[in-house]
Amino acid sequence: MQNLCLMIVLAPLVGAVVTGLFGRALGRSGAHWVANIGVAISFFLSLSVFWRIVIEGELTYNDNLYTWLESGGVLFQIGFLIDELSATMMVVVTFVSWMVHIYTIGYMRDDPGYQRFFSYISLFTFSMLMLVMANNFLQLFFGWEAVGLVSYLLIGFWYTRDTAIYANLKAFLVNRVGDFGFLLGIAAIVMYFSSLDYVEVFGNAHNMASIKISIWSGHEWSLLTVVCLLLFVGAMGKSAQVPLHVWLPDSMEGPTPISALIHAATMVTAGIFMVARMSPLFELSTMALSVVLVVGAVTAFSMGLLGLVQNDIKRVVAYSTLSQLGYMTVALGASAYSAAIFHLMTHAFFKALLFLAAGAVIIGMHHEQDMRKMGGLRKYMPITWVTCLVGSLALIGFPGTAGFFSKDAIIEAVHVSTTPGANLGYLACLTGVFITALYSFRLMFLVFYGEPRMDEHTRAHLQETSVVVWGPLVVLAIPSLIIGAIAIEPMLFGDYFGSSIFVDSKNDVLVRINEGYHGVVGFVGHGMLQAPFWLAMAGVFVAWYCYLKRPDIPRRIVERMSIVHRILINKYGFDAFNDRFFAGGARGAGRMLWRVGDVGLIDGIMVNGSAKCVGWWSSVIRHIQSGYLYHYAFAMIIGLLVLLAVFIHGVAG
């Protein structure tokens, strides 16, 4: 198993290093072959690991590879933990990554940075695999920051664009704010558990449940609450939860394949994965779960609303991603970890599909991203249209699609959950369904239906994209349709995750849902009678009415509700506030500390001031240095007498 794991992580790493260092020598096709073969190896081997662990039920593999260092009695190691959870993630990551590798061949065909791009996405695959396969917090943090690095490099891939290099710096820094909390959480774990190993820490968690620590004097906090909240700050950064979500919409400045791979399917779900992995800790702190739930609910609802007012096709999908991440977080807060991972998986497929479809549209439209200039593309790009429709249906949770099962499970779970804040979560998720349907089909109708609104030249050149582009769309459409029906039973109600996820029996909402579950067909039938389905249908209907039937309505709504519209267009003011308060404030503080502290006080008064003092003193002293010998002799005698006096006094004393 160890060799297998090593091959899985090293294959993409080799791909990244070879294409990165020898890209020019390899040429373009050489580079994409190397990278594709690397990730394909990784995918097939992951599949075999998945087979052995999940299907054949082989025991969890947990072993250290090497000791990173040892200090102060704590061992820092690098190693792999392969259980049902990591095996699932490995397959999802390598599969989506491979599809994106293929897609890239077409999407980046004319880009001068072709080899560099392959190097980055292979490096990303390596980092993400290290993250999900880790058996300890150190390696988790390694992978965590490494995917952040690659995300930074890829958002700024077109490094001459001002918006891109602004966005990538923003993404890195906002993620660093999350990592700041994450690192403190890890430090707390090291302090109290003296270990970074998952198994050891989780095994000891119960003994720590009663420990209280005081951060502000007079306020006692449960240790595990503090640890979980700190770790969750990390998850909020990576999984873009309010208020650390601000980087994700801007990350759309990167090429579309990475929006699909990194900023929708895999990296941004790392926070979800992490919390699920830490379920033995989170289960011991109701307060932490409650915070998770509320943050998720706020994200799911408020970010969905923003999707309604975007005109850039990629941004609509980006806000949709934010909202869906909120759903997953809500599930985590409701202790429905397996539902969160289930939705993570289905979302990875259909959201990657949607992004790649959006990318295909962008290629077809000659890099036009404004939906107001599209329309009627259905006739010109039928495969893109059908696959995008599949993705949208899955996203809104149309009965039978993958998204239906996972989203319904989350809504049901939060409905029966007793975690404080669950009511709010339920409300947010329900209204979220309507909003999701509305923005998704707004996109569908604006892009694929109605009258073409693009200029003549673009329309004349509209055509279906090449096979490397639509191929992955088709391949991703299949799981987007069927994976839900296949996986719901084992994942949610079976023993799929085994011991990799821990749920306290008092929080186990899925057991309660299971009582009313009677097979897939029953679940679908049941779902069609429930509120979420009708809300989704209502959303589709409103989208149809407002954007196809009566396109004048949205404009009138905007005029009528201009304040609301302005709030949404300004994204609730987060960006403006951050720019002014944090970015501007930090620069201002830096300038002030430097001017006043360093230049003014320390250098100006203390250093140069004392130099001036010396100068002044010496101009006084100069008069004493008269050049007359008897002056000097006199001074010497006086000095000698003083010294003698001190000496005698010292001896006598």
Residues lying near another protein in the complex (CB under 8 A) are found at 66-74, 141-142, 145-146, 149, 152-153, 156, 159-160, 162, 165, 169, 172-173, 176-177, 179-180, 183-184, 186-188, 190-191, 213, 215, 586-587, 589-591, 593-595, 597-598, 602-603, 606-607
Question: CA 407, CA 621: separation in Å to the nearest integer?
Answer: 86
Question: CA 33, CA 380: separation in Å to the nearest integer?
Answer: 30
Residue number with CB closer to another protein (68 or 572): 68
Question: CA 186, CA 512: separation in Å to the nearest integer?
Answer: 34
Question: CA 410, CA 397: separation in Å to the nearest integer?
Answer: 11
**Cβ contact 472:424 at 8 Å:** no
**Element holding 214 (H helix, E strand):** strand 212-214
Q: How far is the CB of 64 from another protein (least distance, A)?
A: 13
Residue number with CB closer to another protein (230 or 438): 230
Q: Which long-range contacts (CB under 8 A, 24 or more apart) does 548-553 make?
A: 548/445, 548/449, 548/450, 551/450
Q: How far is the CB of 602 from another protein (least distance, A)?
A: 5
Residue number with CB closer to another protein (518 or 587): 587
**Cβ contact 579:474 at 8 Å:** no
Residue number with CB closer to another protein (113 or 450): 113
Instruction: Find where tokens 């392969």 sit.
Output: 82
Q: How far is the CB of 383 from another protein (least distance, A)?
A: 37
Residue number with CB closer to another protein (160 or 619): 160
Question: CA 616, CA 228: separation in Å to the nearest integer?
Answer: 62
Cβ partners under 8 Å of residue 271, min gap 6: 234, 235, 236, 237, 238, 239, 241, 325, 329
Residue number with CB closer to another protein (582 or 634): 582
Q: How far is the CB of 534 from another protein (least distance, A)?
A: 46
Residue number with CB closer to another protein (142 or 574): 142
Q: Which long-range contacts (CB under 8 A, 24 or more apart) does 502-505 make?
A: 502/202, 502/279, 502/280, 502/283, 503/279, 503/283, 503/335, 503/337, 504/283, 504/284, 504/335
Residue number with CB closer to another protein (577 or 634): 577
Residue number with CB closer to another protein (155 or 394): 155
Q: How far is the CB of 176 from another protein (least distance, A)?
A: 5
Q: How far is the CB of 75 from another protein (least distance, A)?
A: 10
Q: How far is the CB of 362 from another protein (least distance, A)?
A: 23
Amino acid letter, residue 71? S
**Cβ contact 321:343 at 8 Å:** no
The total of other beta-carbon atoms located within 10 Å of residue 202's CB is 17
How many alpha carbons lie under 13 Å from residue 545 in its C-beta half-sphere?
A: 9
Q: How far is the CB of 213 from another protein (least distance, A)?
A: 8
Nearest to 151 by CA among 132, 180, 134, 173: 173
Residue number with CB closer to another protein (593 or 640): 593
Q: How far is the CB of 515 from another protein (least distance, A)?
A: 43
Residue number with CB closer to another protein (188 or 309): 188
Q: How far is the CB of 643 from another protein (least distance, A)?
A: 18
Q: How far is the CB of 158 from another protein (least distance, A)?
A: 10
Looking only at the bridges linking them, the beta strands covering 74-82 and 212-214 are unpaired
How is 421-442 classified by DSSP, letter by letter? THHHHHHHHHHHHHHHHHHHHH
